[in-house]
Amino acid sequence: MTEHETDNTDVPVCPHCGEEDHDWWDGLEPKNDSDEWECECHSCGKTYIVSMCVTTTFSSRGGE
């Protein structure tokens, strides 16, 4: 069990030290829902697995 909140976050969070990776997409190929990849934490240097879960929302407005 980790002491850092790592589920359903806005950005990947290192489960080892809690560092938030706000630039997670830098240098990565495009990712899709359910994709997983290995990251190395820029803070502690340890690796961890990231799982992407995409949520889609819609907005509508009246037309002419």
pLDDT of residue 1: 44
- Quote the pTM value: 0.78
Cα–Cα nearest to 16, from 36, 32, 39:
39
DSSP 16-60: TT--B-TTTTTTPPP--TT-EEEEE-TTT--EEEEE---------
The reported pLDDT for the residue numbered 47 is: 97
Per-residue pLDDT tens digits for 2-61: 588 899 999 999 999 999 999 998 988 999 999 999 999 999 999 999 999 999 899 999
Whether residue 31 contacts residue 39, with contact meaning beta carbons closer than 8 Å, is answered with: no
The reported pLDDT for the residue numbered 2 is 53
pLDDT at residue 64 above 50?
Answer: yes
